[in-house]
Chains A and B, each alone.
Chain A
Amino acid sequence: MLRGGLIPNRPYVVCGTTGSGKTTLGIQFLHQGVRQGERALLVAIDEPPAEIRENVRALGWDVGKIRILDVHPTAKAFSKRVSLVEVAAQRSVASLKDAGSSAKTEAMKQASPDISVQSLQLMLNQELKEIRYSRVVIDSLTSLKKLSEGMDDMNNSISSLLRFLSEAKVTSLIITDLPDPTDLEPEIFICRGEIRLHKRMIANRIDRCITIEKFRGSPHDTVPRPMTLTETGIRVDAKKRIPKSSMRMLQAFTQFGR
Chain B
Amino acid sequence: MALVYDGDARAFEVIFDRHASAAFSLAYRMCGRRALAEEIVQEAFVSLWRSAARYDRARGSVRSWVLRVVHNRAVDTFRRELSSARHDVSDDWIADVLPARERTEDEVERRSDARLVRRALDGLPPDQRQVVELAYFGGFSHAQIADALGLPAGTVKGRMRLALSKLRIALGEPAGVLP
Note whether A and B form a binding pair: no
Which of A's residues lie within 8 Å of B, judged by CB? none
